[in-house]
Amino acid sequence: MTGKSTAIATQDYDVIIIGSGMGGLVTATQLAAKGAKVLVLEKYLIPGGSAGYFEREGYHFDVGASMIFGFGKEGTTNLLTRALDAVNVSLETIPDPVQIHYHLPNNLELKVHKNYDKFIDELTAKFPHEKKGIRRFYDECWKVFNCLNAMELLSLEEPRYLMRVFFQHPFACLGLVKYLPQNVGDIARRYISDPELLNFIDMECYCWSVVPADKTPMINAGMVFSDRHYGGINYPKGGVGTIAEKLVEGLEKLGGEIQYKARVTNILMETGKAVGVRLANGKEYRAKRIVSNATRWDTFEKLLPKNEMPTKEEKWQQRYEKSPSFLSLHLGVKSDILPIGTECHHILLEQWEAMEDEQGTIFVSIPTLLDPSLAPEDHHIIHTFTPSYMKEWEGLSSQAYHHKKEAAASHLVERLEKIFPGLIEGLDYQEVGTPRTHRRFLGRDQGTYGPIPRRKLPGLLGMPFNRTVIPGLYCVGDSTFPGQGLNAVAFSGFACSHRIAVDLGL
């Protein structure tokens, strides 16, 4: 199964990590800090994956969204701060006073302020008849968050950790066990009956989980809905890509290695165990443990033989499907089109029933409102993206693909004119990306950003952890517990590195 290669590396590693997304980098840096010999293999030119960046005509664009959790200064849920601290690096962050400015059907305009009471008051003013239910629902989210924030967040697959944390924080653990099988929708309906307010709760979930409340685990919602008020949203000065660059800097200081333009094509197996990887150039590397930061579809259908997929993975794929990719626009605009007081992050939806549709919900980030250095003087970046599926973009000629991209971009800009009048006239630069773009540059099957439930599932109980059924092989990133989002994949990195460190006796 391993075959022959043109060049076999003689140097062995403790751990090889396929991909330098945030989950992979946190795994790498945590293990390097424990003394492991680590090699990260990245197919692209820079680290970060969807948390990377690119530059065009004086604009410094984030690949993905700029709404960043995990940079708080207190508690245990500030996982990005902790990841940087572990390798003795740091970066400056800029606090954002508002998580999202919603522009929703029936003229529902609402801001999610960092100040919790201010947000609750604003929401209650829109739905005064649900005052008690609103407070009870979001207070329930705080119960989940307080349980998480009381303990060190490491691998739930490691019995000694579970035993230790239970004895240290028994009530917090019991609280989390209660919420593990529950979804947001069930709890929201316990307190709230207004259909439009329940639609809003769906959007509160959809904006980061890409599924409505009935399919969003309460554990995840407790983290997001509360940490935005506790640790807050904090943007890294210099752009999101600086997070990955700093983690790489820390990794290399500790003796870890990262190689770019190193595309892994196969995970090498011997006697049923993962023992190494083969690159596109034929070179092979071996290690005691292999970690895939690719999606589970890429891992088990491309890096491993698809016809030998373990039964457990087949069953997982019956429960979960690929989330949509995105149609994305990176725009450079004249700064005078944005009035004073414009917030950094926006969500636009014209009809509730279109929330999950192809190009239904529009997400907007304007990071230059926080860090003007990312654009030329008197200009802003507007990064807008909307869910889109690969099937919409396949089978097109080059000319048809180009025309479809331009038409979709024009329609998106026209819709954004509703909240940013004058946007079309103020355009200075435009770049369009489709699911094909995301697949090409990020190496993600169908351009997907992770798994979503095919049907309503019991909370987080169906999400896989880091170990796989293949000895020596682990997965990390948004295909593992607890799911999508930068802070969530950082969590998976902490958990994966902890489990591997125990397995290696570090």
What pLDDT does 4 receive? 43
Angle at 466 (CA atoms; ends 21, 185), nearest 5 degrees:
90
For the chain, the average pLDDT equals: 88
pLDDT in tens, 223-275: 899 999 999 999 999 999 999 999 999 999 999 999 999 999 999 999 999 99
What pLDDT does 6 receive? 47
Reply yes or no on whether the pLDDT at 10 is more than 50. no
Structure tokens belonging to residue 455: 């049907």
pLDDT in tens, 192-235: 999 999 999 999 999 888 889 998 888 888 889 999 999 999 99
- For residues 67 and 50, give the distance between their C-alpha atoms in angstroms, rounded to a whole number: 13
- What percent of the chain lies above the pLDDT cut of 90? 63
Bridge partners of 211, per DSSP, are none
Handedness of CA 351, 353, 355, 358 (dihedral sign): negative
CA dihedral of 387, 390, 391, 393, whole degrees rounded to 10: 100
DSSP string of 476-489, one letter each residue:
-STTSTT-SSHHHH
Query: How many CB atoms are closer than 10 A to CB 506?
Result: 15
**353 burial via Cβ count (<10 Å: 0-12, 13-18, 19+):** exposed
Which residues, at least 6 apart from 391, have a Cβ–Cβ distance to it below 8 Å? none
- For residues 474 and 472, give the distance between their C-alpha atoms in angstroms, rounded to a whole number: 7
Helix (H) or strand (E) holding 332: strand 325-334
Q: How confident is the model at residue 45 (pLDDT cuts 50, 70, 90)?
A: confident
Q: Strands 38-41, 7-18: parallel, antiparallel or unpaired by DSSP?
A: parallel
Q: Strands 451-453, 257-259: parallel, antiparallel or unpaired by DSSP?
A: unpaired
Reply yes or no on whether the pLDDT at 276 is more than 90. yes
Reply yes or no on whether the pLDDT at 1 is more than 60. no
pLDDT in tens, 409-455: 999 999 999 999 999 999 999 999 999 988 887 878 877 877 777 77
Mean predicted confidence (pLDDT) in 144-159: 68
Structure tokens belonging to residue 335: 């700064």
What pLDDT does 439 receive? 85
What pLDDT does 125 receive? 97
- What one-character DSSP code corresponds to residue 158? -
What pLDDT does 143 receive? 86
Q: How confident is the model at residue 164 (pLDDT cuts 50, 70, 90)?
A: low
Structure tokens belonging to residue 299: 């891992």
- What one-character DSSP code corresponds to residue 420? S
Higher pLDDT, 148 or 11: 148
Categorise residue 99: left if φ over 0, alpha if ψ from -120 to 50, beta otherwise: alpha
Q: Scanning the structure block, which residue is given the tokens 């801001």?
A: 111
DSSP string of 46-107, one letter each residue:
SSBGGG-EEEETTEEEESS--------SSSS--HHHHHHHHTT----EEEESEEEEEEETTT
Structure tokens belonging to residue 366: 């304007």
Structural domains of the chain, with CATH: 7-91+237-319+453-504 (3.50.50.60), 115-232 (no CATH), 325-388+394-433 (3.90.660.20)
3-state per-residue secondary structure call for 184-249: HHHHHHHHCCCHHHHHHHHHHHHHHHCCCHHHCEHHHHHHHHHHHHHCCEEEECCCCHHHHHHHHH
**223 to each of 122, 138, 159, how far by Cα in Å?**
21, 11, 23
Reply yes or no on whether the pLDDT at 178 is more than 80. no
Q: Enter the pTM of the model.
A: 0.88
Angle at 382 (CA atoms; ends 377, 386), nearest 5 degrees:
170
Number of residues in the chain: 506
What pLDDT does 312 receive? 84
